Chain A
């Protein structure tokens, strides 16, 4: 099916910074997002390593308590707002949504470029706020955030811009998927990555405005003395928490759904089997998006909501587990009796299933009221969301990077180095975070620079694990750079995959396809007729 052997430079042919800064090409914009978000991933990772370094000893040794608070705030906010939310949707999504539906670009290319520059303005403002760095944690709870001497107002403005960029991107994707599908590309012939990106975009568009106005009101509280969150003026700090989690819970599905989409693409390719339960996976994405809006209260069980509200939110929270489990079972059923090969994208995809299952199954412990009261704000929570966010989303992101690297760059990766990096990441991750489950159940609270001496051994183990994890990620990055510089030229379809992006050249031409493809069947016919 390949149109060319992929020796050209495709969309990368024109050089110079102007060709990037003013580009309307969704692939270049996606690539800019990828470079930016990976940069912040590495910076956020450095902060994590500093935290682990401090936690080598039960007493504060290297940093002050304030510095520790600043580090974990920066780690959390960078990872959440500047890496994990935009990385897959704005990076890989931008690159592959038009290719997947057989379009030449997104529906609004200029808006797409604008959303990147709004994002850039946002992170510049956030960097500017470092003159008085944040020490509030990434949740910015009032009343402390309304009074803290840190540059909360500046940071709120930066996050507002990041949110605006996220809304514009989501809006662009919704319209693109509705209006620009190639002839014959019905909803049920779309790759599952698109279903998850569609669900993601809906969440971005509906939830983000609320957090935007929440940050505006926080800024107004600091600048104008507006009292919505201030009990002294009759306001209510818990209102801030409601607004904040109305966005920030659904947004965890903005983080995980795109990764689930990548897994749904990678698993059938490397199992050489049609995806099992296509419609179940597709609609479970929408179900997750819908249910995700009804469960924000489970972050606030100890914030003084009524027992009835607690019970309802707890009950609804368990429902989210259903569509999530539907996906996992379908992936496993796809693997069953497949001819599985273990290339690096597949290794990360399988890692996703394993780690995400651990992260997912520890969720109900936190969703249940009785155990939540015991585990709330302990390291059990830290372990839980790192298993879902890093074990889930980041592994899905790595799977996507390895899977699509040949398409994006036109070069092949060194597979052996990729597998070594994977092994280090896998071991390092589990050593770092599994120990946190253990200390969490034994009562070690999160967010403190000091801890009781009886947790010392586990914390040392965890820090060693974080070093292994960091080395693994560095090896992976080095492999990417080596691949970019001197990787072997990639054919159009190195994995013998059937979705439309592999029909374009590697790397694709500026408008993707010489002729818009006509779609006659779904993209998962592995092992049956064609491949």
Chain B
């Protein structure tokens, strides 16, 4: 049960620490979204009819497209992390670049959806369903934006030659975060778009 070393400069300690740190951070993220999922559950039980009528106003096709886009982006992140583990910095940059591109596609689709809703007079204040829809997808969208920033930072690090097969902590950690962002959407899509 001895800790390996009390020295945070030690690379293996730093890697293990970063991993535990990111997982702990993701736990806090689960709780952050958890409150919204709780609100969703409560209001859905209270007003099943409202949810049945309102959810039909969402665009299932665009929602499905975005789901595919995000799942693909998780795949490109995995490829990138795998690449740097084999020392291929260039491939990492390409893969993470593709992920950022896919994230941008996701946000553009989201923009089209939001614009259509506003056009039809559907706002966060319209009713509880759209309050939930905008708050949940909005908070998720902010996470997508932050993820794009993180991934760009990793690309910058890689361009400066700071990442290698022996040190790839930032790539792996931002990859974990990106999977989480993806996972949240995988819950949001059926809950908001599909369940009638």
Find the A residue at minimum CB distance from B128: A234
A235 CA to B1 CA, complexed, in Å: 50
| Stretch of A81-89, A176-184, A363-371 with 4 or more beta carbons under 8 angstroms from chain B | A176-184
Within 8 A of B (CB), among A147-181: 167, 171-172, 174-176, 178-181
Binary flags per residue of A226-266, CB closer than 8 Å to B gives 1, else 0: 11100001111001000100000000000000000000000
Given A206-B27, A208-B28, A209-B29: A103 in contact with B127 (beta carbons within 8 A): no
A180 CA to B39 CA, complexed, in Å: 39
- Number of interface residues, chain A, beta carbon within 8 A: 50
| Pick from A101, A102, A174, A235: contact of B24, CB under 8 Å | A174
List chain B residues, Cβ under 8 A from A214. Answer: 35
A101 CA to B8 CA, complexed, in Å: 12
Binary flags per residue of A297-338, CB closer than 8 Å to B gives 1, else 0: 000000000000000000000000000000000000000000
Q: How many A-B residue pairs have CB under 8 A?
A: 138
Binary flags per residue of B2-22, CB closer than 8 Å to A gives 1, else 0: 111111110001001110110
Within 8 A of A (CB), among B31-48: 31-36, 39, 42-43, 46-47
Give min CB distance, A501 to chain B, whole Å: 13
Contact, CB under 8 Å: A108 / B17: yes
Given A103-B8, A210-B32, A234-B47: A175 in contact with B3 (beta carbons within 8 A): no
Give min CB distance, B156 to chain A, whole Å: 17
B119: Cβ under 8 A from any A Cβ: no
A185 CA to B4 CA, complexed, in Å: 10
A225 CA to B17 CA, complexed, in Å: 42
Contact, CB under 8 Å: B21 / A107: yes
Binary flags per residue of A75-95, CB closer than 8 Å to B gives 1, else 0: 000000000000000000000
Contact, CB under 8 Å: B125 / A209: no
A224: Cβ under 8 A from any B Cβ: yes
| Pick from A103, A107, A172, A220: contact of B135, CB under 8 Å | A220
A28: Cβ under 8 A from any B Cβ: no
| Pick from A180, A187, A220: contact of B6, CB under 8 Å | A180
Give min CB distance, A207 to chain B, whole Å: 8
A208 CA to B36 CA, complexed, in Å: 14
Contact, CB under 8 Å: B35 / A234: no
- Number of interface residues, chain B, beta carbon within 8 A: 41
| Pick from B20, B33, B50: contact of A175, CB under 8 Å | B20
Binary flags per residue of B40-80, CB closer than 8 Å to A gives 1, else 0: 00110011001000000000000000000000000000000
B123: Cβ under 8 A from any A Cβ: yes
Contact, CB under 8 Å: A187 / B1: yes
B141: Cβ under 8 A from any A Cβ: no
Give min CB distance, B73 to chain A, whole Å: 24
List chain A residues, Cβ under 8 A from B131. Answer: 220, 226-228, 233
A17 CA to B131 CA, complexed, in Å: 46
List chain B residues, Cβ under 8 A from A220. Answer: 124, 131, 135
Give min CB distance, B164 to chain A, whole Å: 21
B25: Cβ under 8 A from any A Cβ: yes
Given A220-B135, A239-B39: A182 in contact with B3 (beta carbons within 8 A): yes
Contact, CB under 8 Å: A101 / B28: no
A206 CA to B123 CA, complexed, in Å: 31
Give min CB distance, A235 to chain B, whole Å: 7
A227 CA to B139 CA, complexed, in Å: 16
List chain B residues, Cβ under 8 A from A171. Answer: 21, 24-25, 28
Give min CB distance, A56 to chain B, whole Å: 43
Within 8 A of B (CB), among A169-220: 171-172, 174-176, 178-187, 205-210, 212-214, 216-217, 220
Give min CB distance, A102 to chain B, whole Å: 5
Contact, CB under 8 Å: B128 / A227: yes
List chain A residues, Cβ under 8 A from B125. Answer: 224-227, 233
A354 CA to B36 CA, complexed, in Å: 42
Contact, CB under 8 Å: A205 / B28: yes
Contact, CB under 8 Å: A210 / B124: no
Contact, CB under 8 Å: B128 / A233: yes
A8: Cβ under 8 A from any B Cβ: no
Contact, CB under 8 Å: B28 / A206: yes
Contact, CB under 8 Å: A239 / B1: no
A109: Cβ under 8 A from any B Cβ: yes
A34: Cβ under 8 A from any B Cβ: no
Binary flags per residue of A121-149, CB closer than 8 Å to B gives 1, else 0: 00000000000000000000000000000
List chain B residues, Cβ under 8 A from A181. Answer: 2-3, 6
Given A208-B28, A224-B123: A104 in contact with B35 (beta carbons within 8 A): no
A167 CA to B31 CA, complexed, in Å: 12
Give min CB distance, A473 to chain B, whole Å: 35
A178 CA to B19 CA, complexed, in Å: 12
Give min CB distance, B4 to chain A, whole Å: 8
Find the A residue at minimum CB distance from B42: A239
Contact, CB under 8 Å: A206 / B8: no
Question: Which residue, of A179, A212, A233, A243, has the highest number of chain B Cβ atoms within 10 A?
Answer: A179
Contact, CB under 8 Å: A175 / B43: no
| Pick from B35, B47, B128: contact of A210, CB under 8 Å | B35
Contact, CB under 8 Å: A167 / B20: no
List chain B residues, Cβ under 8 A from A178. Answer: 3, 17, 20
List chain A residues, Cβ under 8 A from B8. Answer: 103-109, 180
Contact, CB under 8 Å: B2 / A184: yes
A427: Cβ under 8 A from any B Cβ: no
Give min CB distance, B46 to chain A, whole Å: 7
Given A210-B31, A226-B131, A226-B135: A186 in contact with B6 (beta carbons within 8 A): no
Across the A-B interface, the 8 shortest Cβ-Cβ residue pairs: A225-B125, A181-B3, A209-B32, A209-B31, A182-B6, A103-B6, A107-B17, A224-B124
10 more contacts with CB within 8 A, not counting A179-B13, A186-B2, A210-B34, are A171-B24, A175-B20, A180-B5, A183-B5, A206-B31, A213-B139, A217-B35, A226-B131, A239-B42, A516-B7
Q: List 25 A-B contacts (CB under 8 A).
A: A107-B17, A171-B24, A178-B3, A179-B3, A179-B4, A180-B3, A180-B5, A181-B3, A181-B6, A183-B2, A184-B2, A206-B27, A206-B28, A207-B31, A209-B29, A210-B35, A213-B32, A213-B33, A213-B36, A214-B35, A220-B131, A224-B125, A225-B123, A225-B124, A243-B35
